[in-house]
Amino acid sequence: MIVKTNHLGALAAAVGALVAVGLLILMLVLVVEVRPAEATFPGKPAKIAYEGNDGNDAEIYTIEPGGGGRVKVTDNNTDDYEPNYSPSGKKIAYSGSDGQDYEIYTINSGGGGKFNVTDNGTNDYEPSWGSK
């Protein structure tokens, strides 16, 4: 007895499944891509904090997203790195040298009010504001 098989039907089913999966992936990509951009924290985007060299060492600066209104937030003789805004935008945490090692500090986003968060004999880097 000879049995006939239909490979064409199985091939069509496999192609149909692949097309369906491809369309599903395309729809997911489009849905994700169409969402509006979000800021690091909710609310109106504000100034950008960054580290820059003032000719002597690294300092923390802020600047408007359009490029104007640059403010030198830190001004000392040691390196300051890795600025990170607080959720309120009123403070900036950063890693700065105390002359011995690197510590974590906070400062008002407009400058002033420097506070040493860590004070130990080891290097502390990459501050990041968390949630409660």
* Predicted confidence (pLDDT) at residue 52 exceeds the cutoff of 70: yes
Instruction: Give the pLDDT score at 73.
Output: 97
Domain count, the chain: 1
Whole-Å CA distances, 123 to 65, 97, 118 = 31, 9, 10
Q: Is residue 36 scored above 60 in pLDDT?
A: no
Residue 39 belongs to some domain of the structure:
no
**Rounded to two decimals, what is the model's pTM?**
0.68
Helix, coil or strand: residue 97? strand
Please write the tens of the pLDDT for every residue from 56-89.
999 999 999 999 999 999 999 999 999 999 998 9
How many whole angstroms separate alpha carbon 4 and alpha carbon 9?
Answer: 13
Angle at 65 between CA 46 and CA 42, to 5 degrees: 30
Asked whether residue 38 is domain-assigned, the answer is: no
Is residue 10, in this structure, part of any structural domain at all? no
Burial 89-112 (b: 16+ CB within 10 A, else e): bebbbbbbbeeeebbbbbbebebe
DSSP assignment of 33-52: HHSPP--SSSSS--PEEEEE
| Residue 35: pLDDT over 80 | no
What pLDDT band is residue 2 in, cutting at 50, 70 and 90?
Answer: low
- In which domain, by residue range, is 54 found? 48-116
Residue 122 falls inside a structural domain:
no
Sign of the dihedral defined by the CA atoms of residues 68, 74, 79, 80, in that order: negative
Query: Is residue 85 in a domain?
Result: yes
Task: Return the biggest CA–CA distance within the chain.
Answer: 94
Q: Do 47 and 69 form a contact (C-beta atoms < 8 A)? A: yes
